[in-house]
Amino acid sequence: MKNSALFKQMKQEGEKISMITAYDAPGGRHAQDAGMDVILVGDSAGMVVHGYDSTIPVTVDDIVLHTKAVKRGAPDTFTVADMPFLSYHGSIDKTVQNAGRLMQEAGAEAVKVEGRGTVLDVTKTLTEAGVPVVAHLGLTPQTVGVLGGYKVQGKDAESAAELIDDAKKAQEAGAIMLVLECVPHQVAQMVTKSLTIPVIGIGAGRHTDGQVLVWHDLLGFTESRVPKFVKQYVKLSGPIQKALKEYNRDVKTGRFPEEEHTFSMDEMEIKELYG
Which residues are known to be catalytic? 181
Residue 62 touches which member of Na ion, ligand KIV, none, C-beta under 5-8 Å by kind = none
What is the nearest approach in angstroms of Na ion to the Cβ of residue 54? 11
Q: Which amino acid is at 145?
A: G
Binding stretches for Na ion (CB under 5 A)? 42-43, 82
Residue 42 or 73 with smaller CB distance to Na ion: 42
The site map against ligand KIV for 68-97 (x = CB under 6 A) is: --------------x---------------
Residue 122 or 212 with smaller CB distance to ligand KIV: 212
Residue 214 binds ligand KIV, judged by CB under 6 A: yes
Q: Which residues contact 211 (CB under 8 A, 6 or more apart)?
A: 16, 17, 18, 19, 200, 201, 202
In this chain, which of 27, 42, 132, 154 binds ligand KIV, going by CB under 6 A? 42
CB-hemisphere CA count at 13 Å for 104?
Answer: 7
Any known ligand binding at 43?
Answer: yes
Would you tell me how many other CB atoms lie within 10 Å of the CB of residue 57? 14
Any known ligand binding at 33?
Answer: no
Any known ligand binding at 159?
Answer: no
Residue 27 or 42 with smaller CB distance to ligand KIV: 42
In this chain, which of 44, 79, 123, 192 binds ligand KIV, going by CB under 6 A? 44
- Rounded to whole angstroms, how far apart are CA atoms 197 and 110? 14
Residue 21 touches which member of ligand KIV, Na ion, none, C-beta under 5-8 Å by kind = ligand KIV
Any known ligand binding at 209?
Answer: no
Binding interface with ligand KIV (CB under 6 A) = 21, 40, 42-44, 82, 179, 181, 202, 212, 214
